[in-house]
């Protein structure tokens, strides 16, 4: 069986049964549930501290109406960051390299923010489509541009996450293959390639965390405009 570089992005299945659901459930099994004990153990305390701190920072610019989104956004952040980090393990499928999954998150959540804005404060939501102080001849042009940028938002959200993860994984595989092939031929060059691979892996760890954060942060910014 000849493997290509893109086989790592194929949706996994076993005996015809798609394993995507298993891949998506895995992050849930990795986090301990808070117990009814008065003082939790170190892991639970750290987990609770991180979740509280993150939610506090995310909800800071949002008003009270936006606080309803705290659970959704924080759980989305933890889900994405876990999927991204787990995908960096060798031979592990990364669900967030699938555009369908990322668009499945981006489009409904973006649409929800737009509909909330149109329903609760339609004047302000429509007013956002024209910047203040625009010269009169530019008004129609700028309205069209802002409308296009509004509709491009969910596409950008989904594609940004997909492209970053896919490109990173592809680079890792390419450089690892290069180091492996060069090892018997040019050991010094293979060592340099392996060093590059190590640095790239560290970069990919950062990218995995940052991209999950950027996804959730942009959603909270879109919500801030509309809530």
Partner 1 sequence: MPTSPVNTRIPLTSFGHLITEVKKQLFGIKAPTSVELTGLRKYFNSYTLQGRRNCVLATYGVFAAAAAAYFMRRQNKKEPQTSSST
Residue numbers at the binding site for partner 1 (CB under 8 A):
122-124, 126-136, 139-140, 142-146, 149, 221-222, 224-225
**CA gap 57, 7 in Å, rounded:** 39
Bridge partners for 17 per DSSP: 14
What is the closest distance, in whole angstroms, from the C-beta atom of residue 217 to partner 1 in the complex? 10
Residue 55 in contact with residue 74, Cβ under 8 Å? yes
Q: Which is nearer to partner 1, 139 or 189 (CB)?
A: 139
- CA-based radius of gyration for the chain: 22
CA atoms within 13 A on the CB side of 47: 14
What is the closest distance, in whole angstroms, from the C-beta atom of residue 225 to partner 1 in the complex? 5
Q: Which is nearer to partner 1, 99 or 150 (CB)?
A: 150
Tokens of residue 54, six digits: 């993150």
What is the closest distance, in whole angstroms, from the C-beta atom of residue 63 to partner 1 in the complex? 14
**CA gap 97, 167 in Å, rounded:** 9
Q: Which is nearer to partner 1, 58 or 165 (CB)?
A: 58
What is the closest distance, in whole angstroms, from the C-beta atom of residue 91 to partner 1 in the complex? 39
Angle between helices 187-226 and 139-182 (to 10 degrees): 150
Q: Which is nearer to partner 1, 79 or 215 (CB)?
A: 215
Q: Which is nearer to partner 1, 152 or 181 (CB)?
A: 152
What is the closest distance, in whole angstroms, from the C-beta atom of residue 137 to partner 1 in the complex? 11
Q: Which is nearer to partner 1, 144 or 189 (CB)?
A: 144
Tokens of residue 89, six digits: 């393990």
What is the closest distance, in whole angstroms, from the C-beta atom of residue 160 to partner 1 in the complex? 15
**CA gap 34, 130 in Å, rounded:** 47
Distances from the Cα of 22 to the Cαs of 12, 26, 95, in angstroms? 10, 6, 10
């Amino acid at each position: 069986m000849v493997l290509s570089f893109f086989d790592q992005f194929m949706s996994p299945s076993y005996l015809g049964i798609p394993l995507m659901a298993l891949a998506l459930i895995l992050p849930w099994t990795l986090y301990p549930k808070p117990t009814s004990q008065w003082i939790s153990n170190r892991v639970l305390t750290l987990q609770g501290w991180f979740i509280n701190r993150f939610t506090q920072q995310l909800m800071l610019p949002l008003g009270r109406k936006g606080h309803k989104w705290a659970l959704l956004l924080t759980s989305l952040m933890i889900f994405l960051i876990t999927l991204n980090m787990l995908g960096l393990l060798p031979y592990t499928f990364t669900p967030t390299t699938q555009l369908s999954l990322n668009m499945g998150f981006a489009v409904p959540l973006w649409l929800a923010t737009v509909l909330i804005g149109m329903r609760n404060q339609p004047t302000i939501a429509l007013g956002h489509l024209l910047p203040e102080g625009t010269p009169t001849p530019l008004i129609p042009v700028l309205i069209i541009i802002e409308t296009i940028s509004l509709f491009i938002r969910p596409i950008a959200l989904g594609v940004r996450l997909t492209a970053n993860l896919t490109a990173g994984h592809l680079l890792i595989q390419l450089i690892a293959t290069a180091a492996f092939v060069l090892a018997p031929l040019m050991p010094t060059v293979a060592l340099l390639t392996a060093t590059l691979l190590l640095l790239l892996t560290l970069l990919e760890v950062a990218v995995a965390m940052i991209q999950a954060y950027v996804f959730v942060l942009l959603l909270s910014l879109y919500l801030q405009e509309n809530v």
